[in-house]
Amino acid sequence: MDTLLIGGALPASRLALGCMRIDTLDMRQLARLVHAALDAGITYFDHADIYGAGRCELLFGQLLREEPSLRHQMLLQSKCGIRDGYYDFSKEHIIRAAEGSLRRLGVDTLDALLLHRPDALMEPDEVAEAFNHLEREGKVRVFGVSNQNPGQMTLLQSAVQQRLAINQLQLSVAHAGMIDAGLRVNMEGPLSADHDGGVLDYCRLHDVVIQPWSPFQYGFFDGVFLGDRKFTRLNRVLDNLAETYDVTAGAVALAWLLRHPARMQPILGSTSPERVTQLCAAADITLSRREWYEIYLAPGKKLP
């Protein structure tokens, strides 16, 4: 699988495995999933302190203790800042949360730590102090954010010494507002509305890796578009291309994200080893420009 360099420090696989649902697995199933991902070329594993209320990291840490050699084959990312009913980017919480993830995972260093969604009460200087402490102690290598717009990132970067190398954003062919607005500049209509502040171009300009989450969802957890009758034309296009490339429709939907020149790193959320293997075929597909636009238009959009 092709790789990309995150933050000038992390040579990462183009696809990552999200670990939000691994608390539904037993240890044997988790081992099968992780090995299948590694065998398919995935080296990047995405966690968060809130996933399974910490149980997901605990289970993953148990696997690493049972198979210590796995740690040297992967990069580990976690996220912090979401608490019960509020967000918390205070210095104390960031440090405490990062150390909690390290403890649960049973490792000395997180390869990446992201601030999980924006905190309206964020003090950039406090975040900077937390990042400096974690970097100085060798506990985090690279830092980033999730669901932040360019203004929020610029504000944070004004105080933080480390480059914000990652922005995790919801993006799929059926949830593509950041692409829609860019194609309809200076126009009227709902698809011209810029809800993201030009975050796609900002990340490209500043070498920030976009990690699309929920790459098969439409809306905010409204459901998966694959096989959904509301997206008949999209599924027909995906199925036809899947036959052309001898892969699954899901792999084609991922290839659509990978084809974008921003060089994104989609997060897969599957807990099925077989499905992960099938989806990783996306990394071997390069859609033509015509195919990319055919998929983009298939949910019912029109070019201006």
Residue type, 30: L
Q: b or e along 268-290 (b: 16 or more beta carbons within 10 Å of the residue's beta carbon)?
A: bbbbebebbbbbbbbbebebeee
Q: Considering only CA atoms, which of 271, 215, 266, 214 is closest in space to residue 22?
A: 271
The single residue of 44, 51, 202, 218 carrying the catalytic annotation is 51
Residue 51 falls in the annotated catalytic set: yes
Q: Considering only CA atoms, which of 113, 36, 111, 40 is closest in space to residue 72?
A: 111
Cα dihedral 206, 255, 281, 231 sign:
positive
Q: DSSP secondary-structure letter at 132? A: H
CA 104 to CA 57: how far, in whole Å?
6
DSSP string for residues in 207-243: TPEEEEESTTEETTTTEE-TT-GGGHHHHHHHHHHHH
Residue 154: CB atoms within 10 Å: 14
Burial class for 60, CB neighbours closer than 10 Å (0-12, 13-18, 19+): buried
C-alpha of 124 from chain center: 23
Element (H or E) spanning 182, and its range?
helix 177-183
Catalytic residue list? 51
